[in-house]
Amino acid sequence: MTREQLDKWCERGILVLVLAVLVFGPLATGAVRPLEFLIIQALTVGTVLLWLLRLWLNPKHRLLWPPICWAVIAFVIYAIVRYQQADIEYVARQELIRVLVYAFLFFIVLNNLNRPGSTHLLTFLLIFLGMAVSMYAIYQFATDSEYVWHFIKPAAYRKRGSGTYICPNHLAGFLEMLLPLGLSYTLIGRLGQLLRVFLGYASIVMLAGIGVTVSRGGWVATIAASLLFFVLLIRRRQYRIPILIIVAALIAAGLHFYSKADSVQKRFHNVLSGESTDTVLARFILWKPSLRMWQDHCWLGVGPGHYDYRFPQYRPTGVQLRPGHAHNDYLNTLADWGVVGFSMVAASFALLLGGIFETWKSVSREPSELGTKPSNRAAFVLGGSIGLSAILIHSFTDFNMHVPANAILVVTLMALLSGHLRYATERYWLNPRGTGRILVTLIGLVAMVYLGQQGWRRAREYVWLERAAKEKFYSQNMISALKKAAAIEPTNSETGYSIGEALRQVSWQGDTGYEKFATQAIEWFQRAMRLDPYNPYNFMRIGMCLDWLGRHEEAAPYFEKALSLDPNDYYTMAHQGWHFFQTGDYARAKEWFERAIKLEMYWHTPIASHYLPIVERKLKETKTSKR
């Protein structure tokens, strides 16, 4: 087999692996769980290996290096630096790994899948994938199904289609990027009639899929992006009548769907309701502390992936759960990465936009008296650009960029659009020569070793954590599994906390030797505290163990520290009351229980509700005895 043949097989292998990443992510609930992302990480390592082989097999292999590449490289370097400075090493490392995976996929797609055939194959398969997932979402909506594969959806997402995602909003984010591509190829692509019909049908199904998600942010983003798409096309005479017909049909179908679906009407009626949990006002409540978090760490942010871990200190009383993300990708980026990181991300999109304008002049065909000739290149540039604009609009109200499947689709579209600059100019092609090949190879090999080693380490940790999770009760088997996970990944503070909590629960049974288990629990909580100094529960649990051992004076500072880290959390307030209950200070215990009960979430263990009547009875007995 010749070098040229090996090079072609490597190129095909890259295409297959990238397709596997793009298809697997959405089907695997967005690849938000560790196991699914590990598979994507392994596939990415495979693509890097094939690219390095191509680099040396083909002496004519050139690098396409448009301006956006400098912004991507700058952010990767910044991410590495911020990881070295991060307060919570484990969290920052996982975020860095995601950045590296996305960056390598960007460069691999840009430099290996820039042939027209590869671009169109990727696009068509993604469109039909979107159609298939939309059909599943429509089925869920029509049958009121509570399942996503074998997973049970949270109650808040019932009566909404989510397809292969858990959250319907993330399905809407995925589909709104593909819908403009389907419409663009249908209307202006150079295709056979059968393929055109299939793409048109797929676009209609994806539009229905977005509809049944009942995602308000998804609907707004889709409508805004569609209007932009139609405005750009309606300027050309040959598209005016078809577009007017399509718009009229879409408006009629949308009004009919809205009038027939009671759950949809209810959801939109609650947009600004202060009495419903299904209101966008909840996002506004969440955005205020996000702004404060960023203002306190303006330039560099709180750290990669640290938003959820630093949130308790900024928690408003109206948010009693872990938010996970800011539900606004722009605020989340500012909070995590600061102005410096946000500017690099913004620069990459700005450079992409400049490249799109430059590309459009080359791929679009000027209209003549006979109209504009169809063009697949123009169809992709138009559809891909509008698709990215849709997700950027949606990012104001959701966190699609933190869902790996959606983030990878964004990165892929950015790479393919940047690759179209080759039709506008030759100045972005680089001949790496010997020195460049060696440099790229060294970077690739370091990345492969690092991602491979980290992936294997995370996989082994995941196995033991899953074994521990399968234990129904706190037991020695659970503790043993958790300790093995901690031995593999000693910097994961959440594993340390879980071990401490398991030991505390065993000690709470009061059997012989309970003091030993309580002491061991304190040691593990202290270990977790050093790894994550912002988690109030580590301090709170240490205080509980000390109270259990009768060391009340030592316990008091730990409860105070927990409250300083999360001053508006009902759970820490309730445990402060619990501490005073243990010391016999029933008056102060009553004060804290009353404060906690105003914030207590009905779906959590009602600690304050349980203890408050007991405290009131104790106080009443004390008054009676004094008489």
pLDDT of residue 600: 73
Which pLDDT does position 284 carry in this prediction? 86
Return the pLDDT at 398. 93
State the burial class of residue 439 (Cβ atoms within 10 Å of its Cβ: 0-12, 13-18, 19+). exposed
Beta bridge partners of 147: 152
b vs e for 149-160, b when ≥16 Cβ sit within 10 Å of the residue's Cβ?
eeeebeeebebb
Strand partners, 430: 63
Give the per-residue pLDDT at 250.
76
Q: Which residue has the tokens 């100019």?
A: 425
Confidence of residue 370 (pLDDT cuts 50, 70, 90): very low
pLDDT at 343: 98
Residue with the larger pLDDT of the pair 456 and 605: 456
Of 252-261, 494-503, 566-575, which range is least confident?
252-261
Q: Which of 185-199, 244-258, 330-344 has the highest mean pLDDT?
A: 330-344
Region 373-393: mean pLDDT is 92
Alpha carbon 606 to its chain's center = 31
What pLDDT is recorded for position 603?
58
**How far is residue 202 from each of residues 27, 195, 236, 445, 615, measured CA to CA in Å?**
17, 10, 24, 40, 63
User: What average pLDDT score do residues 614-620 get?
Assistant: 89
Q: By percentage, how much of the chain surpasses pLDDT 90?
A: 75
What are 525's two structure tokens?
């909580």
Tally the residues of the chain.
627
Identity of the amino acid at 551: R
Residue 166 dihedral angles phi and psi, to the nearest 5°: -80, -45
What is the rounded average pLDDT of the residues 417-423? 92
Q: Which pLDDT value is given to residue 151?
A: 94
From 37-41, 183-187, 261-265, 537-541, the region with the lowest mean pLDDT: 261-265
Q: Rounded CA gap, 192 and 203, in Å?
A: 17
What are 406's two structure tokens? 């959606």
What tokens appear for 282 in the block? 């909840």
pLDDT given at position 51? 96
What's the CATH number for 456-626?
Answer: 1.25.40.10
Question: For residue 59, what pLDDT band results from cuts at 50, 70 and 90?
Answer: confident
Among 352, 421, 358, 359, which residue's Cα sits nearest to residue 388? 352
pLDDT value for 275: 53
Average pLDDT over residues 595-599: 90
Give residue 363's pLDDT band: very low, low, confident or very high (50, 70, 90). Answer: confident
258 — pLDDT class (breaks 50, 70, 90):
low
Higher pLDDT, 389 or 474: 389
Token output for 394: 């949606």
501-516 pLDDT per residue, tens: 999 999 999 888 899 9
Distance between CA atoms of residues 300 and 306, nearest Å: 12
Domain residue limits, the chain: 3-445, 456-626
Strand partners, 429: 64
Q: What is the DSSP letter of 512?
A: T
**What's the CA gap between 172 and 231, in Å, rounded?**
22
pTM of the model: 0.95
In this predicted model, what pLDDT tens digit does every residue of 67-111 receive, in sequence order? 999 999 999 999 999 999 999 999 999 999 999 999 999 999 999
Report which of residues 142 and 372 the model is more confident about.
142
Identity at 597, one-letter amino acid code: I
- % pLDDT > 70, the chain: 93
Burial annotation 370-407 (CB, 10 A radius, 16+ → b, else e):
eebeebbbbbbbbbbbbbbbbbbbbbbbbbbbbbbbbb
Residue among 531, 552, 468, 550 nearest 503 (CA): 468
479: pLDDT strictly greater than 60: yes
pLDDT for 369: 46
Beta strands in 39-198 (DSSP E): 63-64, 147-148, 151-152
Residue reference for tokens 């960056």: 103
Backbone Cα Rg of the chain: 28
What SS3 class is residue 606? coil
* Predicted confidence (pLDDT) at residue 390 exceeds the cutoff of 60: yes
